Amino acid sequence: MCTHNNHRSFDQLLSQLSTRLINSESAETQDCIAEAIAAFGSYVDADRCYVFEFSDTMTSMSNTHEWVRDGLSAHIDDLQGITEEELPYFFNLMKNTFRFIVHDVRTLPEAARNEKLEFEREDICSVVCIGLVANQKLLGFVGCDMVHKRYHWTDDDVRHLSLVADMIANSLERQRTYQQLIDTQRQLKEANSKLQALATRDGLTGIPNRRALDEKLLEEVRRAKRQGTGLAILLIDIDHFKAFNDTYGHLKGDEALKQVATCLDAVMQRSTDFVARYGGEEFAVLISTDSAWQALRKANELLDAVEQLSIEHKNSPTEPYLTVSIGGYFELPQPDAEVASTISRLIDNADQGLYQAKADGRNCIRFR
C-alpha cells in the first residue's frame, strides 16, 4: 500500500492534518475531515478512504465522508442507514475490537456472508477499518479499501490509520460537544421565552396581563416623549359581573371574560395598540394616537363590539346582554415629563373616568 513507507514523510502529513483539524472552527470540521481522508488516501495509495458514523444506539451507520481515487465509483449515497441486521459480523467486530482488518475478502468466514456480498458489490478486495473512539465511546470508523487488487495491511498501515482515526474522533467529539452546547443554549432560550410569555400573559384569556401592561406603559411613554406623539389609555370594566357569576356560575363567567378579551383584541388591530387584562373583570387598552377624539372613537367601537357579542345577562340593570363601562384619558407627554408620574397620571385619570361612567349608569364612556 505505502510503497516507500517513509515514517518521516507520514509524520509530516500527520502534523499537517492535526494542525488543520485542531485549528478548525466547529463549522469547518466536516470539511477538514474530508480534506484529511483525501490527503491520507492519496498518501497511502488507497482506492477509497471514508468515514462512517454510528447512530446513538449503535444499531445503524451512515457514510458521512468519502474520498475516491480518480476513475473509481463513489458509494456514499448508497451507504446510508445501514443496520446491524444487514452487517452483523462487521458490527460485532467493530463494537468489540474497534478494528476490522481483511487482507482478502475471499477469506471471510461464513458468518460474514453479508459483508462478503457487500464488498463484492463494491469490487472491494481488501479493507481496513479503525474505530473512532472518544471518551470511551465508539462514534464510528475510518477505513480504506483496495479495489480490483488485494493487499496485505502492514502494522504500519494500521498504526498510521489509527493515528488518523484518533484525530478525526477528537474532532467529531469536539463538534458534537459544541453542537450540544448550541442545542442547550437554544433550548434554554426557548424555555426562557416561554417562561417570559407565561409571566406576561393572562392564564385565562391569553392576552397580556397587568405586568405586561406596566412594561408597555413604560415603553410607550418613553417613545411618546421622544417622538412628540400622544398616548391614550382606556380602562374597561364589565358591568355587573358579580351578578353575572351569581346567575350563570363561574365557568360561564370565565367564558365571558375570554369572549370579551378576544373581542377587544380583535377591534384593536394596529401594531401600536395594546390590550391587557387589568385584573378581575377589568381590561386596559393602550393607544398611540394624535388626539383624544381618535381614542374616543375607538372606545365607542369597543363598547358596541362587546354589546354585539350578545352574551345574555338577564339580571343586568343595564341591558339584556353583557355590557362594559369605559374610562379614558389622553395626554401628549412633554419631553421633560417624568415617566413614572406620567404613567400614574394616565392610569389615575382613566380610573376616574371609569368611576364616572359607572356613576352615570354604566354601558357608557367617560373621558377625562
Write down which residue in 131, 160, 180 finishes a domain.
180
Percent of the chain with pLDDT over 70: 93
Long-range Cβ contacts of 206-210 (<8 Å, 24+ apart): 206/258, 206/261, 207/261, 207/264, 207/265, 207/275, 207/276, 207/277, 208/274, 208/275, 208/276, 208/277, 209/276, 209/277, 210/276, 210/277, 210/278, 210/279
Express each pLDDT in 266-306 by its tens digit: 999 888 899 999 999 999 999 999 899 999 999 999 999 99
**Residue length, the chain?**
368
- How many domains is the chain partitioned into structurally? 2
Q: Indicate the range of 112-116, 160-164, 218-222, 249-253 predicted with least confidence.
A: 160-164
Contact status, residue 159 vs residue 13, Cβ threshold 8 Å? no
Q: Domain residues for 321?
A: 210-367
Judge if 102 and 251 occupy the same domain. Answer: no
Q: Is 100 inside a domain boundary?
A: yes
Express each pLDDT in 167-206 by its tens digit: 889 888 888 877 778 888 888 888 887 777 778 899 999 9
Amino acid 1: pLDDT = 46
Write down which residue in 163, 180, 197 finishes a domain.
180
Judge if 168 and 256 occupy the same domain. Answer: no
Express each pLDDT in 31-50 by its tens digit: 888 888 888 888 888 999 99
| 246 — pLDDT class (breaks 50, 70, 90) | very high
Q: What residues are annotated to the active site?
A: 281
Q: Is 265 inside a domain boundary?
A: yes
Helix (H, G, I), strand (E, B) or coil at 158: helix
| 4 — pLDDT class (breaks 50, 70, 90) | very low
Amino acid 3: pLDDT = 44
Amino acid 172: pLDDT = 85
Write down which residue in 161, 180, 199 finishes a domain.
180
Residue 33's domain is classified under what CATH number? 3.30.450.40
- What is the mean pLDDT of the segment spanning 74-98? 95
Amino acid 111 reads A
What are 19's three cell numbers? Answer: 494542525
Query: What count of other Cβ atoms lies within 10 Å of the Cβ of residue 157?
Result: 19
Judge if 234 and 299 occupy the same domain. Answer: yes
Q: Does position 245 have pLDDT exceeding 50, yes or no?
A: yes
- What is the mean pLDDT of the segment spanning 121-143? 94
Judge if 92 and 234 occupy the same domain. Answer: no
Q: Does position 311 have pLDDT exceeding 70, yes or no?
A: yes
Judge if 143 and 30 occupy the same domain. Answer: yes
